Amino acid sequence: MTHTAYISHPDCLLHDPGPTHPERPGRLHAIRNALLDEGLLEGLILLDAPPATDAQLERVHSPAHVARIRASAPAPGQQTMLDADTVMSKGSLTAALHAAGAGVAGVRAVMEGEADHVFCAVRPPGHHAERERAMGFCLFNNIAVAAAHALAHYGLARVAIADFDVHHGNGTEDIFREDPRVLYCSSFQHPFYPGTPLAERDHLIHTPLAAGTDGATFRAAIERDWLPALDRFQPELVLVSAGFDGHRDDHLASLHLAEDDFAWVSRALVDVAARHAGGRLVSMLEGGYDFSSLGRSAAAHVRALCELSRR
């Protein structure tokens, strides 16, 4: 029996930035279909993502930012451009609230023993959203909301966030730059979007990867940079920003990773959680824009969570 939960919500499909935008509703369909095709979905604990509250959002965003996003929701059939890449439709606010709320629900599930591992299949993604700014397809920083909830509501002292999206999670770094209770490990293509300066702090572990990096080089970098830092930190909870846009078939970037690489890093992070965090791990979808490779990669990730649950 698996002890892995899958958290999503139909309202995450309501965010519609347009038919040519990479971050389309079909991303969630691709993941769900892949999990069905591989016989994984039926074995998961299925949970609905609640909407995040303003109090939960305001642990990581200013009240002014939350108010701006609420005020930017357009009329039906209209769009609001928050920046050149970040679009709001009528349903975007509702989708973003459920996306952020999924992380809160995931933390609750692992902290209260309902699940060992959680995968949140939600959109819009979150790791580019800074304390005061939406950007890079992201309105609220979903993984940061989850981490802050774990620290505040459950009184944890050490939370790790591991981010293997192809883009650096500038928003997550912005939010936790001065908070050593959060160890942030991020691998990313470099130089590449968003191009923000990388802060130098002991609790910020940067793993820049050159365009064309393959799976062997990626794995060696994670073993060199992340795993020793995670073991030194001894997290009480492991959170994962799971971006699958580093896949070789995803043409929004130029890394050459494959499904096996995402499965490998997933197993490595589950092992960290088993050693230090009572097995508790919550993963949240970030990037991944080629539907076929996204589905296959997310399925490989979820399979690793299931196989290593309650060993």
Say if strands 204-209 and 182-189 run parallel, antiparallel, or are unpaired. parallel
Q: Hunting for tokens 């073993």 — which residue is that?
A: 223
Local structure of 17: helix, strand or coil: coil
Choose, from 9, 61, 128, 167, the residue flagged as catalytic: 128
Give how far Cα 296 sits from Cα of 32, 33, 38, 45, Å. Answer: 10, 10, 9, 20
Dihedral sign for Cα 205, 210, 211, 216, please.
Answer: negative
Our answer to whether residue 21 is catalytic in this structure is no
Provide the H-helix boundaries in the chain: 26-37, 54-57, 63-72, 92-111, 142-153, 170-176, 215-233, 259-276, 291-307
Q: Is there a contact between 167 and 245 (Cβ–Cβ < 8 Å)?
A: yes
Tokens coding 94: 């509702």
Say if strands 87-88 and 204-209 run parallel, antiparallel, or are unpaired. unpaired
Partners of residue 284 on adjacent β-strands: 120, 241
The neighbour count for residue 92, using CB atoms within 10 Å, is: 25
Residue type, position 204, single letter: L
Active site members: 128
